[in-house]
Amino acid sequence: MRLTSLRIRLIAVFALVALTAAVSASGIAYWLNRDAVLKRAQDSALNDFRDSLTRNVSEMPLAPDCRDLQALARVVASPPPGLNYQVVVVDAAHPDCTASSLPEQFTLARVPAALRAAVPVARPLGDGNSYRYHLYWQRVVLDGEPFLVGGTRIVPTGPTAYMFKSLGDERADLDTLAWSLGIAALLALVGSALLAQAASATVLRPVQRLGEAARRLGEGRWDTRLEVRGADELADVARTFNSTAEALAAQVEELSAREAASRRFVADMSHELRTPLTAMTAVTDILEDEADALDPMIEPAVRLVVSETRRLSDLVENLMEVTRFDAGTAKLVADEVDIADLIMSCIDGRAWFDAVELDAPRGMVARVDPRRLDVVFANLIGNALKHGGSPVVVRVRTEPRPAHVRTAEGRAVLPPEEQVVVEVRDSGPGIPEDVLPHVFDRFYKADKGRARSEGSGLGLSIAMENARIHGGTITAANAPAKPDGSPGGAVFTLVLPKEPSGGPGGGPADADPPGGSGGRGSAGDAGGAAGGAGVQDGSAGKGAGAGRGQR
């Protein structure tokens, strides 16, 4: 059980309150009993001492000698059973005589100095004072044992007597009382802990059920409801949770229906557009081939139609691929591939070999989907060429994977020992800091004034989805400035496991991907390969128009 749990804290609070109450009550009871016990013993001994001294002093001769003083000490020190005190008697007429009922242990020197100074002093008689000499007392510790020491003088010319009353019995009684109160406090503490346990079980059980229901609701189990018991505050919480869950389930159902309808609309629209677009593409290919022979006044319009038709075809294919990712139907066709060969094929197929520097060792084999990874490389390198400028440097390396990796669904997976890291660095000014968080957002373009550009704003988002379906990811950053102070350019880093880890939308390796006929589109928008293998037939003249749609 965690120390931070509510049950532990509730028990601790109960125990602390009970301990405080028990200690307070025990302390008050102890001090009240202590004062009562000591006052009773003290009053009994002092009253008996005064009475006995008064009675026996009146029977002494007018000029007592040392033997008379000794006899007085012995007689006064013979109290009734239970009082048991000793007496020391001194007289100013006999300064060398100190009479003691127990001279081996009690002498005048053991009487506190303050008491010796106060006892012989006569007080003036008046309405508030009927005695010239008062009885004074003081509690002291002699040889480790508590004593009550009292002293008084009866007549001005008479002797002065001091009494020593042991309080050992009273201390033993008080010690027994203290132990009894301590045991009672301990029992109260144990009882409070048991009571807190019972109370916490009653209070926290509904809270635990509420927490479990909230977790189930968070997992998407919208039919989760709590059983309402009683009419207290916890029952109100349960009713509120049920009503909230019902409203949330209705909203989720409505939103899911709208989302499904939107996906169906986009998919149906894309499929419906592909047939006329296929015919239009064939016609525009013919028009492009004959453009040089057309009237110079018509040629720009023809080339614009060709360009916009290809752009529309690319957009339709990209929308279809995005729909497949959203629906979770995108599949991997994984194969053992040399990453360096795959990048080189992507560069050569688009005639980028003069503008791209490749630093990739041979033999770095990973199990990937070549078609989808070609889309990723085409987007990253094409964006670097268009927005950053050459030379573009592509570096490939391997590095150990972190100890734990979590997928987008929150599942913990055990990664392979190594991962492939591909860095694409351009020579441009870099990406603005306010744009960096959005470069992988769909339809995001940094330059709002150039809404009509070659890219659709889907290229990098599709590249990210293709990386995730492999269990990897892509990050964007700016390289440090160069020694001469010029910008270091933008750096896109693709990280892939050597074995697919079943990322979002990942499927079996032998599944055929839902495809479509690719076009010649730009690498910046996945080059038509989002729907099929269109990037593979791109050329520097017709397919190399790489665009970083998000920048």
Q: Does the 6-173 domain belong in CATH 3.30.450?
A: yes
The per-residue DSSP string of 255-310 comes to: HHHHHHHHHHHHHHHHHHHHHHHHHHHHHHHHHHHTGGGS-TTTHHHHHHHHHHHH
Comparing 102-106, 234-238, 245-249, 344-348, the range with the smallest average pLDDT is 234-238
- Determine contact, residues 126/135, Cβ cutoff 8 Å: no
Residues with Cβ within 8 Å of 412's Cβ and at least 6 positions away in sequence, in order, are 404, 405, 406
Q: State the pLDDT at residue 546.
A: 34
Q: Which of 526, 517, 521 is nearest to 458 (CA)?
A: 526
Taking residues 515-543, report their average pLDDT: 34
CB burial of residue 473 (10 Å; 0-12, 13-18, 19+): middle
Average per-residue pLDDT for the chain: 78
Selected residue with higher pLDDT from 535 and 75? 75
Q: State the pLDDT at residue 527.
A: 36
| Alpha-carbon dihedral 256, 262, 268, 271, rounded to 10 degrees | -110
| Alpha-carbon dihedral 179, 181, 186, 187, rounded to 10 degrees | 120
Report the 10 Å Cβ neighbour count for 404.
9
Query: In three state form, how does the secondary structure of 36-61 look?
Result: HHHHHHHHHHHHHHHHHHHHHHCCCC
> Cα–Cα distances in Å, from 475 out to 78, 439, 447?
102, 9, 20
Q: Which range among 257-261, 427-431, 485-489, 514-518 has the greatest average pLDDT?
A: 427-431
Task: Name the fold adopted by 330-537.
Answer: Heat Shock Protein 90 (3.30.565)
CA distance 68 to 159: 10
Q: State the pLDDT at residue 404.
A: 56
Residues with Cβ within 8 Å of 258's Cβ and at least 6 positions away in sequence, in order, are none
Taking residues 234-255, report their average pLDDT: 86
Taking residues 490-508, report their average pLDDT: 71
Report the 10 Å Cβ neighbour count for 510.
9
Selected residue with higher pLDDT from 233 and 356? 356
Nearest 5°: the CA angle 325, 326, 328 is 65
Q: State the pLDDT at residue 217.
A: 84
Domain boundaries, the chain: 6-173, 330-537
Q: State the pLDDT at residue 322.
A: 73
> Cα–Cα distances in Å, from 397 out to 137, 146, 360, 365, 394?
96, 87, 7, 11, 10
Dihedral class, residue 160 (left if φ above 0, else alpha if ψ from -120 to 50, else beta): beta
Residue with tokens 């006999």: 94
Nearest 5°: the CA angle 419, 422, 427 is 160
Q: What pLDDT band is residue 303 in, cutting at 50, 70 and 90?
A: confident
**Strand bridging mode 356-359 / 392-400:** parallel
Residues with Cβ within 8 Å of 306's Cβ and at least 6 positions away in sequence, in order, are 284, 285, 287, 288, 291
Dihedral class, residue 220 (left if φ above 0, else alpha if ψ from -120 to 50, else beta): left
The answer, yes or no, to whether residue 327 has pLDDT greater than 80, is no
| Alpha-carbon dihedral 168, 172, 178, 180, rounded to 10 degrees | -160
Q: What are 67-91's pLDDT values in tens digits?
A: 888 888 888 888 777 678 899 999 8
- Determine contact, residues 465/442, Cβ cutoff 8 Å: no
Q: What pLDDT band is residue 492 in, cutting at 50, 70 and 90?
A: very high
Peptide bond just before 370 cis, omega within 30 deg? no
DSSP bridge pairs for 336: 367
Q: What 8-state DSSP symbol labels residue 400? A: E
Q: What are 405-451's pLDDT values in tens digits?
A: 555 455 555 555 688 999 999 888 888 888 888 888 877 765 554 44
pTM over 0.85: no
- Determine contact, residues 463/473, Cβ cutoff 8 Å: no
Taking residues 29-48, report their average pLDDT: 87
Residues with Cβ within 8 Å of 310's Cβ and at least 6 positions away in sequence, in order, are 281, 284, 519, 520, 521
